[in-house]
Amino acid sequence: MRIAVASGKGGTGKTTVAVNLAVFNHIDLFDLDVEEPNDRIFIKGEAEEWPAYRKVPEVRENCNACGVCKDVCQYSAIYVIDKAYPLPELCHSCGACIYLCPEKAMEEVDYQTGKIVRVKSDITLTYGEMRIGEASAVFLIKQVKELMGKNAIIDSPPGASCPMVESVSDADYVILVAEPTPFGLHDLKIAAEVVSDLGLKFGVVVNKHGLPFDGIERYCKEGGVEILGKIPFSKEIAEKYSRGELLHDMKDFFVQLYEGIA
């Protein structure tokens, strides 16, 4: 079973839930927050890495600056002066410019978007790390997902934009981690709407439970959304997270969380 852990905003405790859920249930972990992967802080072991590429256009000498490639590009990733100049950072690798070039003056070449890292420990952690300056995370997320088996815990990027959608799209279940604050409720609603539109089953874990705000619980009750569990607002938990430690005293919570879903 593939379980994605997501949130409408950063800082809700998404990584805390994903890492501990994976370790205490002995399931491989995939960190798809490729812009800022940090599951490696908690999963330490022998690592191997390799570059990740996607295809972008390269211009040949017979380009006559006709501008067809520029006109067909929907992402403004090509400009033309004396010849065509592709901008690989903006390119979405659709191949339309190469296919439609009347002079056949373009060819596909590899362009490095970042790297993929695999860490062997009690479980296996696999994550992507984007090259500095790269504009889109989706291509690297797709490549990391190709390494995923049937059983996996997915640490998704925060928010509800394209990287999050790509990360959860193949999941069997989504855990939305929310903090009991007005901002937390606002962003939970957005994330829940996205997951619902994708047709995915989901439930909520309330982190920092005990703060004086009951909006999350009221929203879930009124919307028929299951609250899977609550993690208390605790200085001790925050300190352990800051030291890169697992929540061993909450092992039973994360085992029961997984068993309740699977």
The secondary element (H helix, E strand) that includes residue 121 is: none
Summarize the chain as % helix, strand, coil (round to 5).
35, 30, 40
Each residue's pLDDT tens digit, 131-153? 998 888 999 999 999 999 999 99
For residues 107 and 89, give the distance between their C-alpha atoms in angstroms, rounded to a whole number: 17
Reading phi first (left if > 0) and then psi (alpha if -120 to 50, else beta), residue 15 is in alpha
Average pLDDT, the chain: 95
Which pLDDT value is given to residue 230? 96
Which pLDDT value is given to residue 9? 86
The SS3 assignment for 23 reads helix
Each residue's pLDDT tens digit, 231-251? 999 999 999 999 999 999 999
**Domains within the chain, CATH numbers bracketed:** 2-45+121-261 (3.40.50.300), 53-111 (3.30.70.20)
| φ and ψ at residue 80, rounded to 5 degrees | -125, 130
